Amino acid sequence: MRTLNDRKTFILKWNPAISSVNLEDWDFWVAKKDFLVPNWSVYEHEKVDIGDEWYMLRVGEGVTGIVGHGTFCSNPQKAGDWSGQGKVRYYSELCILDLMPHSEPMITTEILAKCIPNCDWRGGHSGVKLPNIDIERLDNLRSNYYDQH
């Protein structure tokens, strides 16, 4: 049985300007989230286990911040490169708990940078493990969001 000390959280990053998932696709995901099990590439795939948490962070232009949350419902599997560059990619299926409209993040990048300054909230790889010390901080930000909404 896993304990809180075993818990892992990953930050998935979505830049609609370069992603295979565009804004229209995201709107579809939000509308059908209870019926979807999409997959997403995970940079630190060797660290992911079924049941680990993920947060989807919209990056790039426009309103940025956390727009999704859930758990991994599969171990990462090697598959084709979403970007078409021929790189080796590993994808995990996502069990969706929350998805926000792309223009209404539950936690903005500015708040994340202020409250959890050790992470790169504006760029970097998708699927990087959040340091354990920061998991509780992110949980508190999410809890505060739900209390206010």
Single pTM value for the model:
0.91
Contact 99, 30 (CB under 8 A): yes
pLDDT, tens only, 87-111? 889 999 999 999 999 899 889 999 9
DSSP string, 127-144: SEEPPHHHHHHHHHHHHH
CA distance 11 to 125: 9
DSSP string, 81-92: -TTSS---EEEE
Q: Which residue has the tokens 């999410």?
A: 142
pLDDT of residue 4: 52
The answer, yes or no, to whether residue 1 has pLDDT greater than 70, is: no
CA–centroid distance for 35 within its chain: 18
pLDDT, tens only, 39-89? 999 999 999 999 999 999 999 988 999 999 999 999 999 998 777 788 889
